[in-house]
Amino acid sequence: LLMELCEGGDLLSRLQARGGRLGAAEGARAISMIARGLRALHEGGILHLDLKPENCLYETAAADATLKITDFGLAKHRDDDPAEERAPPRIVGTLGYMAPEIVLQRPATPAADVFSLGTVAFLLLSG
Could you say which of 10, 50, 64, 113 is catalytic? 50
* Residue 63: inside a domain: yes
* Residue 74: inside a domain: yes
Distance from C-alpha of 45 to C-alpha of 43, rounded to nearest angstrom: 5
Q: Which residues contact 102 (CB under 8 A, 6 or more apart)?
A: 49, 91, 92, 93, 108, 112
- pLDDT at position 86: 46
pTM of the model: 0.89
Read off the CATH number of the domain in which 68 is found. Answer: 1.10.510.10
The number of CA neighbours under 13 Å toward the Cβ of 59 is 8
Would residue 50 show up in a list of annotated catalytic residues for this protein?
yes
Per-residue model confidence as pLDDT tens digits over 51-106: 999 999 999 999 899 999 999 999 999 876 555 554 555 677 899 999 999 999 88
Quote the domain boundaries for residue 100.
Answer: 11-126
Q: Are 45 and 78 in contact (CB under 8 A)?
A: yes
Q: Are 21 and 120 in contact (CB under 8 A)?
A: no
Q: How many domains is the chain partitioned into structurally?
A: 1
